[in-house]
């Protein structure tokens, strides 16, 4: 596939090079390689391997079939590093500025000339015959002669492009406005309760961090609101709230370079309800299926529709790495900014899987808490009596912006994004490495990439889902990296709202940014008896704590061994 993709433009260039010189020397054949051009028969693969390397201009000035066959065949990838237009090519008489090759059963077009090669000719002879007719060619506006300048032009170097957070948008079980959301976290108001969306009698787990009341009015067009999956509605709403929170009004939008504004918002599971409905309809007939079933079920479509709605033409895609999805999206969005490819990015994650197939799937994995009699106390990271995580739903979107771009429009700056890292456990589908090596490596790489000293990190928003093994593995990895830091504080947002799957990282990043802004850390709920080896003094207690954050780190890990750590700090104008 690679050879094929490269061969087409290269062959076009070589044909042009050959004809531009052969216009004056039509019958010239280089004496240095007569075997290459003297035979009209197609060379065998073994013979083509023995052909001399094409390294100077004279190889392009004569003959036809044999050379073109050898260059456009299977060895093309080996030649790419040595083939480059030379001085003689640019000095030669140019061919027509554009050309086309079209074929049909009864006629043949080459460079705009209609010609019918004699049927008695073999393939190589026909190729030579066609190229000999180029003096009569007509211009076809399809491809242009390559520019010498394009072969030497280098990518501009970008330096000191700092990334800041200028907007926050959230849809969660404890609030749909960033300030309200974080205030409820500080007060320890739990968003976990009995599931009301469907009958859970057949399941051993009947609780979740379910959003009881949600409206997309004013954020999503009514027609789309009726058709789209909740994960998409959450995403679109949170994305637009992040813009509103960031002061990106209609007037500001008019002045933006939309080619440098992008959207990277992912989802772990995508439109599961749409897909489930499609399967049920298919049981009757495919004619009963929603025509939007496939596009509305895919994880990328939320980002795509948000970009369409805003008219943003910069980087636009989604990433799906299970529960690490949001962090992957946030770090990739920041990288587009630091590389100079974007000035502004909406990034984060969204998921809505509290439906029978979603609940049943995680029950089958034996991952969920069954503390149905006391939902608010079910999610209890690091507590000795934890029995699994609690599903949640929602979306979190951050507006990241290049610092000078943000300052130029007078944006409010919440915090600075310093960087992050990814690693893979390469160990198990649902369990992290028992020794925490993958997690520790991820944290170490995040610190290195961010240029942060480990002693400066004094707050971690942990992944800590409330699973028996996962919490300990992460805690041990954190202690391996920061064990000597007496100022370190750790909490888990999931103790209050449950695990929002692909949206978890973004919602927790918002909590981290709000902690930096407000100077308050939300409590660890239900931490009554820390597990063996867990130092309770390192963990935030049952009440909010005031804290002067120097550098904050937020972890997210996903099924499949996906590890991610991202780093924020208070913004300082240096």
Nearest to 357 by CA among 156, 523, 198: 198
Helix count (H) and strand count (E) of the chain? 22, 17
The DSSP-derived string for 106-167 is S-EEETTEEE---TTS-HHHHHHHHHHTGGG----TT--PPPHHHHH--PPP-----EEEEE
Task: Name the DSSP class of 123.
Answer: H
Catalytic residue list contains 323: yes
Q: Which of 261, 347, 405, 463 is catalytic?
A: 463
Q: Which of 72, 200, 261, 323 is catalytic?
A: 323
Write out the H or E segment, with its range, that includes residue 489. strand 489-491
Tokens, residue 320? 């799906």
Q: How many CB atoms lie within 10 A of CB 453?
A: 10
Residue whose pair of structure tokens reads 């004056």 in the numeric block: 24
Tokens, residue 526? 């239900």
- Which residues neighbour 363 within 8 Å (Cβ) at sequence distance 6 or greater? 203, 204, 205
Give the whole-angstrom CA distance, residue 10 versus residue 67. Answer: 12
Catalytic residue list contains 28: no
Q: Which of 405, 473, 499, 522 is catalytic?
A: 499
Cβ atoms of residues 394 and 210 within 8 Å: no
Give the whole-angstrom CA distance, residue 318 versus residue 321. Answer: 10
Catalytic residue list contains 347: no
Write out the H or E segment, with its range, that includes residue 263. strand 261-266
How remote is the C-alpha of 222 from its chain's centroid? 29
The residue count of the chain comes to 574
Catalytically annotated residues? 323, 463, 499
């Amino acid at each position: 596939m690679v050879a094929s993709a490269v061969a087409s433009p290269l062959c076009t260039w070589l044909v042009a090079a050959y004809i531009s010189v052969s216009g004056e020397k039509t019958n010239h054949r280089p004496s240095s390689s007569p075997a290459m051009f003297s035979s009209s028969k197609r060379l065998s693969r073994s013979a083509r391997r023995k052909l001399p390397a094409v390294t100077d201009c004279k190889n392009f000035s004569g003959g036809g079939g044999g050379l073109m066959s050898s260059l456009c065949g299977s060895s093309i990838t080996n030649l790419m590093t040595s083939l480059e237009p030379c001085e003689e090519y640019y000095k030669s008489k140019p061919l027509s500025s554009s050309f086309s090759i079209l074929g049909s059963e009864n006629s043949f077009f080459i460079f705009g000339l209609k010609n019918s090669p004699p049927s008695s000719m073999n393939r190589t002879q026909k190729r030579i015959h066609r190229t000999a007719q180029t003096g009569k060619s007509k211009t076809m506006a399809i491809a242009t002669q390559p520019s010498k300048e394009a072969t030497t032009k280098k990518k501009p170097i970008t330096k000191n492009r700092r990334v800041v957070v200028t907007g926050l948008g959230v849809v969660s079980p404890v609030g749909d406005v960033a300030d309200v959301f974080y205030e409820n976290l500080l007060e320890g108001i739990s968003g976990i309760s009995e599931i009301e969306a469907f009958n859970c009698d057949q399941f051993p787990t009947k609780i979740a961090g379910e959003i009881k009341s949600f409206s997309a009015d004013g954020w999503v067009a009514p027609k789309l609101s009726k058709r789209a999956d909740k994960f998409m509605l959450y995403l679109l709403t949170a994305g637009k709230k992040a813009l509103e929170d960031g002061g990106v009004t209609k007037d500001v939008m008019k002045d933006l370079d939309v080619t440098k504004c992008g959207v990277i918002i992912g989802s772990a599971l995508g439109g599961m309800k749409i897909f489930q409905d499609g399967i049920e309809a298919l049981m009757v007939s495919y004619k009963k299926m929603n025509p939007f079933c496939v596009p509305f079920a895919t994880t990328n479509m939320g980002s795509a529709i948000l970009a369409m709605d805003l008219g943003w033409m910069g980087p636009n895609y989604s990433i799906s790495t299970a529960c690490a999805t949001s962090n992957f999206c946030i770090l990739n969005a920041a990288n587009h900014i630091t590389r100079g490819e974007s000035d502004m990015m909406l990034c984060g994650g969204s998921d809505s899987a509290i439906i029978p197939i979603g609940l049943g799937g995680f029950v089958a994995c034996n991952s969920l808490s069954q503390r149905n009699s006391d939902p608010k106390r079910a999610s209890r990271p690091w507590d000795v009596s934890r029995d699994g995580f609690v599903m949640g739903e929602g979306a979190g979107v951050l507006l990241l912006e290049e610092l000078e771009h943000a300052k130029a429009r007078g944006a409010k700056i919440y915090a600075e994004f310093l960087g992050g890292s990814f690693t893979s456990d390469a160990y198990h589908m649902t369990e992290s490495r028992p020794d925490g090596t993958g997690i520790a490596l991820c944290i170490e790489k995040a610190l290195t990439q961010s240029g942060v000293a480990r002693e400066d990190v004094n707050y971690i928003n942990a992944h800590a889902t409330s699973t028996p093994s996962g919490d300990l593995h992460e805690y041990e990895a954190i202690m391996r990296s920061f064990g000597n830091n007496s100022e370190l504080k750790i909490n888990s947002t999931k103790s209050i709202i449950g695990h929002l799957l692909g949206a978890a990282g973004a919602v927790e990043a918002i909590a981290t940014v709000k902690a930096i802004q407000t100077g308050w850390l939300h409590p660890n709920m239900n931490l009554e008896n820390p597990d063996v080896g867990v130092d309770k003094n390192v963990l935030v207690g049952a009440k909010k704590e005031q804290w002067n954050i120097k550098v904050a780190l937020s972890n997210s890990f996903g099924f499949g061994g996906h590890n991610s750590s991202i780093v924020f700090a208070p913004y300082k104008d240096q």
